[in-house]
Amino acid sequence: MKTLSTGEIAKLCDVNLRTVIRWIERGALKGFKLPGRGNNRVRVEDFIAFLVEHDIPIPPELAGDDNRRVLIVDDEPAIARSIQRVLRSNGFVTDVAVDGFQGGTKLMKDRPVLMTLDLSMPGLSGYDVLSFVRETPEISGTKIIIISALGSDALQKAMDLGADAVLTKPFENDQLLECVSGLVGVQTRSILEEE
Amino acid sequence: MKTLSTGEIAKLCDVNLRTVIRWIERGALKGFKLPGRGNNRVRVEDFIAFLVEHDIPIPPELAGDDNRRVLIVDDEPAIARSIQRVLRSNGFVTDVAVDGFQGGTKLMKDRPVLMTLDLSMPGLSGYDVLSFVRETPEISGTKIIIISALGSDALQKAMDLGADAVLTKPFENDQLLECVSGLVGVQTRSILEEE
DNA sequence: CGCCTAAATGTCATGTGTTTCAGGTTAGTA
DNA sequence: TACTAACCTGAAACACATGACATTTAGGCG
């Protein structure tokens, strides 16, 4: 969803729908009308500009426009650093979580667009994480790249559970980069599906 | 409702609307103005910070179940259910996380006042979790009860790292309840005496 | 204790933006 | 086609911002 309806903006600003329409009519908020009934639409970009202009805090659902945040979940520092180096040098903003607890916390806090996940971390089943993320609305849209040295059966299972891609260890930097860019390039997350 | 108007705050604080506006103008209370007439809005979060800063009691309608929410982090279903039963029947709102990832996610999402943490979960060091939580601002205030069957050395280390209390397995329901109530500072109330 | 001062809060009137309400239309879906 | 949820519109009721001014409060001082 690239645009917002009046109803959505009303909820986001905690204001009446009628008021939003008046803002648009008055020109305070840039929008356009669809044919048919004349329903209003506002581009997310214009809405954010509007919020910034009036010093209104930007709702977290919209703040996720930083399409370059990546969370690396791996207990092996060497691997994590390696991934981090590749991604950072290509313009991504990265953070590393060394255990499941940190992973969950940082995923929920920073809402990265993409997470790399070691399938076999001690005490943490990557499968469980996949399932859990997919059924948790706030983070269900996160792109997940599974990183594993396991065989194709395991990887297939990961894909079935909702992984967006898998990388077998060892992998080339180019493979990783191509994989990540491919996933976040076309990424557009729907905004209000959480309520 | 995510934000409060000046009128609402005026009622909550039992104060004149004019005064609330002046608080905001003066910067004592953080808020922002909507376009149009310039009506003020204050995020609940900021309002609560304001109340806390001035030692003003927080109205129950804002507290919600915030002060009764408890997260139980334990990979053993039997233990988790046992704890959950005791707490729920005493008016607490509980949720269970069976691994570190779930624990981190739910802690960041729900912001419970208290978390019970099994010190020895497979692949997850309770010590690491303690340190991490204490140095993560959003959740550093969470009360943490360590649950463990280990000896006093381990428990002392947990306390040193920021645990608010420790419970040695096996423990009595009363011990748990007393511990939780003591930390949360809310009188435990039977679920039957709701109004 | 009473007086005084300054800051904070309350009161009032007014104009304007916002919400509510009711009615009708459209988009989305089965 | 039928149905539901979301949307637009107008009018009336309502809430809010604002300035000016009255009142209260806390603290200092004789």
What are A77-97's pLDDT values in tens digits?
999 999 999 999 888 889 999
Set of chain A residues whose Cβ sits within 8 Å of the Cβ of B101: 100-101, 103-104, 124, 128-129, 132
Alpha carbon of A73 to those of A90, A123, A146, A173, A185: distances in Å? Answer: 19, 14, 10, 17, 21
Of A112, A53, B188, nearest in space to A97 by CA: A112
pLDDT tens string A142-173: 889 999 988 888 888 888 888 999 999 888 88
Q: How confident is the model at residue B53, as a pLDDT?
A: 85
Give the domain ranges of chain A: 3-63, 69-185
Of A47, A19, A16, nearest in space to A31 by CA: A47
CATH code of the domain made up of A69-185:
3.40.50.2300
Q: Residue A27 CB closer than 7 angstroms to strand C?
A: no
pLDDT tens string A128-138: 999 999 888 78
Q: What's chain A's Rg over C-alpha atoms? A: 20
- Does residue A188 surpass a pLDDT of 80? no
State the pTM of this model.
Answer: 0.73
Nearest nt by C1' to A20 Cα: C18
- Burial bucket for residue B52 (CB in 10 Å: 0-12, 13-18, 19+): exposed
- The token pair at B144 is 């943490």
Structure confidence at residue B1 as a pLDDT band (50, 70, 90): low
Q: Searching chain B, which residue's CA lies closest to the CA of residue A102? A: B104
Query: How do beta strands B69-73 and B114-118 pair?
Result: parallel
The answer to whether B3-63 and B66-190 have equal CATH topology is no
Chain B residues 16-45 with Cβ under 7 Å of strand C are 16-19, 22-23, 34-37, 39
pLDDT tens string B102-151: 999 999 998 899 999 998 888 888 999 999 999 998 899 899 999 998 88
pLDDT tens string B14-48: 999 999 999 999 899 999 999 888 899 999 989 98
Secondary-structure class of domain B66-190 per CATH: alpha beta
CATH code of the domain made up of B3-63:
1.10.1660
Suggest the residue from B2, B37, B71, B101 to mutate for an interface test with chain A (most A CBs closer than 10 A).
Answer: B101
Question: How many Cβ atoms from other residues are within 10 Å of residue A154's Cβ?
Answer: 18
- State whether residue A82 is helix, strand or coil: helix
Structure confidence at residue B192 as a pLDDT band (50, 70, 90): very low
Query: CB closer than 7 A to strand D: which residues?
Result: A 5-8, 17-18, 21, 25, 37-40; B 5-8, 17-18, 20-21, 25, 37-40
Give the Cα separation of B14 and A12 in Å (integer).
Answer: 28
Q: Directed axis angle between helix B152-160 and helix B126-134, to 10°?
A: 20
Q: How confident is the model at residue A195, as a pLDDT?
A: 33
